[in-house]
Amino acid sequence: MTEQLRLMAVHAHPDDESSKGAATMAKYVSEGVDVLVVTCTGGERGSILNPKLQGDPYIEENIHEVRRKEMDAAREILGIKQAWLGFVDSGLPEGDPLPPLPDGCFALEDVDKAAGELVRQIRSFRPQVVTTYDENGGYPHPDHIMTHKITMVAFEGASDLEKYPESEYGPAYQPVKLYYNQGFNRPRTVALHEAMESRGLESPYGDWLKRWDEFERVERTLTTFVPCGEFFETRDRALIAHATQIDPDGGWFRIPLDLQREVWPTEDYELAKSLVETSIPESDLFAGVRENG
């Protein structure tokens, strides 16, 4: 492969990049791959999830600015580039019945028009590989589902000069592989849960697995397992940099890194589209790209 390898990860909010595929990105950065995270919204309506920071008036009044600074810190830790699409966080509607989404939010944007902003990023960065969420958003947050929608349109639209003219969006370009993040899959969760219990440790995944059964979540097809255990610590540091969104003493970090590396040393993906030949299962998001470059 003589051409520079480039990976684009499309995410809904700042912090999503650090909880979904961060070790993969850090691994590829270490190998010289150019990695760009595109963040669709500013996370303006996100809750302050770290109990240590709840009630801080400065954070509550300046959440947009705070989350941008957190993203800057995570970007530096991961060694990636990052771009904002500039849409407004939709929030996560709660209640029965669910309240309507707020006017002007990302999830209510016209899909084709919003995808045009991502087309502009794709044509400028020219990634061979794009990652995003599946049609369920990974979980049914309206911004995650919208992120899926615009990424699917942009993946095809980046090469469509009739729909997205060069004069406005830049020269046509076609990525060749599209993946869905599937890091929170049942086989991984079960393996880590059982490994913790077998060692006499308290697993944080017991309730997760009960809810999994209750919601009858459909299992996805895992196609690609990227070995990146040596970058799990980098992943965790990037996530902790999003201080408003994660409690460093919470359940997210209760599985020892050595156990994770032993039991499940990969981050996992579902190959959604490929314009190059590849063999499943894969261990590299660029499988078929390196050989055809």
Binding site members for Zn(2+): 13, 16, 144
The residues, any chain, with a CB within 8 Å of residue 130's CB and separated by 6 or more, are: 7, 8, 9, 10, 122, 151, 155, 175, 177, 178, 179
Distance (Å, whole) CA 242 – CA 60 = 15
Q: In the beta sheet, which residues pair with residue 35?
A: 7
Binding residue numbers = 13, 16, 144
Amino acid at 138: G
Query: What count of Cα atoms within 13 Å lies in the side-chain half-sphere of residue 136?
Result: 9
Residue 169 CA neighbour count, 13 Å, CB half: 24
